[in-house]
Every structure is written in structure tokens, then in C-alpha cells.
Amino acid sequence: MLVNLLPLTPDTRDIMRLETLSKLQPGGYVINVARGAHLVEDDLITLIDNGHLAGAMLDVFRTEPLPAAHPFWQHPKITVTPHTSARTLRDESIAQIAGKILAMQRGEPIAGIVDPARGY
């Protein structure tokens, strides 16, 4: 099973393509909850249709919302979820944000800062 949680960077764009997905054991399964641009959609369908992969669960897509005519909707071995891989927990999120504001005011380091040079 491959679960993709990678940030989308120039190095990870299209990382889930025929070459890489073919390295999964026969019967492998793909879950993508990161970014739609990680996956080459036609390559996934090819590997499922030829029997190499058992299926996939996809929460993110190159085009969102996923067009009504997209083959993922009708494919019997692909499960489409509504881009909700993780719900935001309100109380926990407020506490985290407030904690970071207080730490910043005290001049303390803050975790989770986005580095534009790295892409995440």
C-alpha cells in the first residue's frame, strides 16, 4: 500500500507515475491525500486496468472539483472522497494558533513555519 502525504514541490510533481507505481507489489493499493499533481491519473488507471494495482482511494485531484465526466467517478476500483482527508478540530486549532502567537510575542521559536524556498 502506498499512502502519499508528500508536499507538492518540483521534485514531487508527477511522482506517482507509471515508473514509480509499477514498483509496488502486484495487488498494491494507492491512497493519495496530499496533492492531485502528485499523480499521473492515466498511469494509475492503466495499472489498475491491467491488474497490477488492486485499486486506489483518492481525496485530491489535478482538477478540483473533479469534473462530472472524469473516469474516476465510474471506475469500480477507485474510491473518490470529497477532499476531507482530515477535519479541522476547532478547539485544538484555536489553541495551537494562540500558542504560536504567544510564543512569537515572547521571542520563542515557532514550529511549522513555511519555507518558500523548500516549497512547504
pLDDT in tens, 19-56: 999 999 999 999 999 999 999 999 999 999 999 999 99
Q: Supply the CATH number for residue 45's domain.
A: 3.40.50.720
Has residue 118 been placed in a domain? no
d(CA 84, CA 64): 13
Q: How far is CA 8 from CA 15, 18, 76, 93, in A?
A: 10, 18, 28, 23
Has residue 67 been placed in a domain? yes
**Greater model confidence, 42 or 111:** 42
d(CA 92, CA 16): 33
Has residue 61 been placed in a domain? yes
Residue 86 has pLDDT above 80, yes or no: no
Tell me if the bond preceding 65 is cis, omega within 30° of 0: yes
What count of other Cβ atoms lies within 10 Å of the Cβ of residue 21? 22
Q: Is the pTM of this model over 0.75?
A: yes
Has residue 18 been placed in a domain? yes
The mean pLDDT value for 53-72 works out to 97
Mean pLDDT of all residues belonging to the chain: 95
What residues make up the domain containing 17?
Answer: 2-87
d(CA 15, CA 35): 11
d(CA 37, CA 77): 20
Residues known to be catalytic: 35, 83
Total number of domains constituting the chain: 1
The grid cell for 53 is 494495482
Beta-bridged to residue 48, according to DSSP, are none
